[in-house]
Structure 1
Amino acid sequence: MAHLTWLSAYQNYAPELPANLPDFRKFAFRRIKWRTVDYLRKQTLRTQSQVNLEHTLPITIDPMTEQETHWQLTALLTELLVQCRPGERIYLTEFFFEEQTVSSIMRRHQVSRRTVYNWRASLLVKAHKLYQQQTTN
Structure 2
Amino acid sequence: MRGKVKLYIKNFGPIKEVEFNIQKSFIGIFGKNNSGKSYSISVIYLLIKHINNLDNDLEHIIAKLRKKNGIYRSLKNDYQKKNNNTKILMEQFFKDAFSEILTEKLTNSFFATFNDLNNLKNKSSKEQPEIILKTNHL
The two structures have a TM-score, normalised by structure 2, of 0.32
Which structure has the highest strand share of the two? 2
Higher relative contact order (CA 8 A, sep 6+): 2
Which structure has the highest helix share of the two? 1
Q: Which has the larger radius of gyration?
A: 1
The two structures have a TM-score, normalised by structure 1, of 0.32
